[in-house]
Copies of this chain bind each other. A is one copy, B any other.
Amino acid sequence: MSLDTVLSKIDDTLPEATARLMDLLRIPSISTDPAFKGDCDRAADWLVAELQGLGFEASKRPTPGHPMVVAHSRGEGPHLLFYGHYDVQPVDPLSLWDRDPFDPEIQDGPRGKLIRARGASDDKGQLMTFVEACRAWKAVHGALPGNLTLFFEGEEESGSPSLIPFMKENAAELTSDIALICDTGLFESTVPAIVTMLRGLLGEELTIRGPSKDLHSGMYGGAAMNPIRVLSKIIASLHDENGRITVPQFYDGVPELPDAVRAQWQNLAFDHAKFLNDVGLSEPAGEKDRTPLEMIWSRPTCEVNGIWGGYTGDGFKTVLPSEAHAKISFRLVGQQDPLAIRENFRAHVRSLLPPDCTVEFHGHGASPAGMMEIADPAFEKARGALTAEWGRPASYVGCGGSIPIAGYFKSILGMDAMLIGFGRDDDQIHSPNEKYDVESFHKGIRSWARILAALA
């Protein structure tokens, strides 16, 4: 009965909730670019003020990077920790955006209204679903639900350099019975999902150096080593003709999918053709004899996320550059060891260097894959709540992305995590014109109210 009142309250106050989200979206909290440091700080302050207004004991907690936001509400029931991140991806190429990424707008979309802005889906919109569920709960009950800790990070899009030290230093304060993480999506746009399998991530940046300075390709071309050619050759060699990654020992710890899980995934009716067609593709580009769903949920990858070298401006410059650069990331599964792969990758690249070339590496994030323990009854309770809200049976699924926080909750704080989110495949997260469906936001808030009622 009182849950229905909370749900009605959520329905009635959706415009105000949406307006608050848009306020948060106006803060350009790009964590990877030092130019936006002040904005990250401002986003944290905004959240602290919101949470304090709701009655949380909330504070901004400094780190060597961007601050954490931690909030508590001590009540009855199991201790739940909710995690989200207030930082967002960079917006380039800005020219491909239809409007200012930090001037959010409600627009018409294929599934009703949507909110267009950087961070609308990843992760400000998702984070606010939980905050708004708490707000409606309090409006109806006069108190916040259960025994809650909210934990918001500002470095998720830049490798979370402060996260592990912060969790270790504040382990007693943060350790809860279970964590709720809202940074994932629905399955195929209408089926709610709890992610139980997450890929890890290893990021590496490399610089290949050849000549001691940029050269004129007329004076030296043909005789001098060109680092772009060297880098291209290295990248070209990282996959064999079957799409397998050639770094030695790379597949150590990669499990084959159990037959039961493979069967469950086949039942998901994942439309492989549509998955590719939606982004202009027709053939899976990964390992031969794997389906796209296997490729993105259960197989490791090596991708080049960026490359640059020489003259990249308008017109032409016949330079033979002294340096070439790439950003390369690996998605990891099973028991793959990120640090061992980092060493093997670096040794492999060094073994491919021709004479007169050197390489310099800069490591970015390194997190192992994660696998949740769904035996905890909280999983089935949350699955029931999601099924009730969306009218379709909620599924346990894998996730191609890396949400290292889930692994850290387990390894540092000893607690399992439920990854529940309401994003959709067409949200264009990390891309121009990111959006979040108002339906995702609205039913996301309602979903959390139901889950809180079931768990708290």
- Give the Cβ gap from A405 to chain B, nearest Cβ, in Å: 14
Which of B215, B232, B296 is in CB contact (< 8 Å) with A235? B232
Which of the segments A53-61, A76-84, A323-331, A444-452 contacts the partner chain?
A: A323-331
Which of B214, B296, B306, B331 is in CB contact (< 8 Å) with A430? B214
Decide: B306 and A219 in contact? CB cutoff 8 A: no
Q: Once the chains are docked, how many angstroms separate the CA of A299 from the CA of B364?
A: 42
Which of chain B's residues have a CB closer than 8 A to the CB of A355? 282-283
Which of chain B's residues have a CB closer than 8 A to the CB of A295? 222-223
- Give the Cβ gap from A172 to chain B, nearest Cβ, in Å: 31
Q: Once the chains are docked, how many angstroms separate the CA of A308 from the CA of B238?
A: 19
Decide: A279 and B217 in contact? CB cutoff 8 A: no
Q: Once the chains are docked, how many angstroms separate the CA of A226 from the CA of B300?
A: 15
Copies of this chain present: 2
Which of B31, B221, B364, B428 is in CB contact (< 8 Å) with A400? B221
Q: Once the chains are docked, how many angstroms separate the CA of A217 from the CA of B286?
A: 13
Decide: B305 and A327 in contact? CB cutoff 8 A: no
- Give the Cβ gap from A401 to chain B, nearest Cβ, in Å: 3
Which of chain B's residues have a CB closer than 8 A to the CB of A158? 315-316
Decide: B216 and A279 in contact? CB cutoff 8 A: no
Binding site for B on A (CB under 8 A): 31-34, 89-90, 92, 96, 157-159, 199, 201, 203, 205, 210-226, 228-229, 231-233, 235-239, 275-276, 279-287, 292, 295-296, 299-301, 303-322, 324-327, 329, 331, 354-356, 364-365, 399-402, 425, 428-432
Q: A210-B280, A223-B275 are in contact. List 20 more A-B contacts (CB 8 A).
A: A32-B314, A211-B280, A219-B425, A222-B303, A223-B296, A224-B276, A226-B285, A226-B303, A232-B235, A282-B355, A283-B356, A285-B356, A304-B310, A306-B319, A306-B321, A307-B310, A307-B324, A308-B308, A312-B327, A316-B327
